[in-house]
Amino acid sequence: MRDYADHDATGLAQLVAEGAVTPGELLDEALARVVALNGRLNAVVLMQEATARRHIADGLPEGPFKGVPFLLKDLGCEAVEFPSHNGSRLLADTRYARDSAIYARIRATGVVTFGRTTAPEGGVGPATEAAVYGGPTRNPWDLSRTPGGSSGGAGAAVAAGIVPAAHGSDGGGSVRIPASCCGLFGFKATRARFPDGPYVGEGWAGMAIDGFLTRSVRDAATLMDACAGADLGAPYWAPPLAEGYAAAIRRPPPRLKVALCPTTFAGAPVDPECRAAAEAAARLLESLGHHVEEARPAADHGGMMRAWTRIVACGTALGVRKALAGRALRPGEVEAVTQGAIRHAEGISGADYLEAVGKVHAYGREMAAFFEDWDILLSPTLAEVPAEVGRFAHVNDDFEHFRMGPGMVFDYSPFCAPFNASGQPAASVPLYWTDGGLPVGVQLAARFGADEALIGLCREIEQAAPWFDRRPPLSL
């Protein structure tokens, strides 16, 4: 299908609805693209072609994306018919007794899911290089670079044109980082906007949430509308949407008061290309009539990241312990960073853990106070251009250094985790490419619960500075 990549998921669904193409033909095209591209990307795994074809034959749900090929992240989104490695040799070929609520809602949109996309072990880190997949996942804009993490396989698959949209998740930037690295749109919704059950009540003390990697704002809006709302027995839920994401993008947002932060939130310099991306976005917003001034939030960013590191270490250790079911860990079953996280967690008492959660909650209040005076906080998504493959490989067992050390995760990605901690909505928008052709995302964040205002602004930006036709060198 020559014009497959000329359409977003909404466009492909329209072709199916018009009878111009069948779901089977779209699946054939997606599978052919896996064959053509995945050997160099290493992004698509655990293929389930027979399952996808059976779903088509049995009749797809009459949802907004009926017949559109789709991929699930290989972390979470548990589904009976889609086994998972969860990025780990320890968890390879995990099977599930029932579907997760998020998968059930995704399936109801009518998508044709045919496999999963790579993720780092434990979802930890801004790159995707898990040993269980036999090598790193690479960025279609530059194969020497990472597509980001932890939804790196999703980012690579969508950017390369294998699928128009894919499932991801974001516990510290894991949707927005791949969006920035791969020239895509990635939206992290307000905490608890989507269901976590029945397998977990919350991820990483409420910092993790599902999401999507897309090439258009409208695809993300429709997917999020389809998945929004708490599942049965959820411990808490997000403030209800007034009309929904799709309704919010059908009209321009009000003129907004935007704080531009071209440094880290702590005031440290970032790569000049990342600063230039944020400043260019600020000029665009000013041209659209929004009020922009430089400002940055006064909050304990370093303290939050130390608390975040403790919470993730404890979550990682718990996940490994549950998988082992009482037996000892064997050599090579988990990677060095995971081993380090387990050791780090051993030194954290129950009181220490609760103190870390309290620190994250206090940080959320500090960030909320900043948004009493501002509608939007504009910054780079990352402090650097996409990292080279290997920089964040899980080969060092010093977990605290991996997260907090010089040049490591927090230095590279200081902008994303703050909004997982605060629970606020934040999006990475692809507005800038370096002279060397690397995408650099711009992050926009809004008040807690203000998802509709944020996505409305993203749509206005997309219309003013379209990005859909920018394609990486490795794509079809």
Domain boundaries, the chain: 7-464
Whole-model pTM: value is: 0.98
| Section 84-95 average pLDDT | 98
Residues recognised as catalytic: 73, 150, 174
Cα separation of 68 and 220, whole Å? 14
What pLDDT does residue 275 have?
98
Residue 1 — very low, low, confident or very high, per pLDDT cuts 50/70/90? confident
Superfamily of the domain at 7-464: Amidase signature (AS) domain (3.90.1300.10)
Is residue 327 exposed (0-12), middle (13-18) or buried (19+ Cβ within 10 Å)? exposed
Question: What is the chain's mean pLDDT, rounded?
Answer: 98
Q: 378 forms bridges with which residues in the sheet?
A: 260, 444
pLDDT for the residue numbered 344: 98
3-state DSSP assignment of residue 414: coil
State the sign of the Cα–Cα–Cα–Cα dihedral 217, 221, 223, 228. positive
Between CA 369 and CA 342 the distance in angstroms is: 35
pLDDT digits (tens, 9 = 90+) for 279-312: 999 999 999 999 999 999 999 999 999 999 999 9
pLDDT level of residue 2 (50, 70, 90 thresholds): confident
pLDDT tens column, 367-394:
999 999 999 999 999 999 999 999 999 9
**C-alpha to C-alpha distance for 198 and 234, rounded to whole angstroms:** 9
Could you tell me what percent of the chain has a pLDDT over 90? 99
Strands of the sheet containing 376-380, edge to edge, are 44-45, 112-117, 69-73, 165-170, 209-214, 185-188, 426-433, 439-446, 376-380, 257-260, 291-294
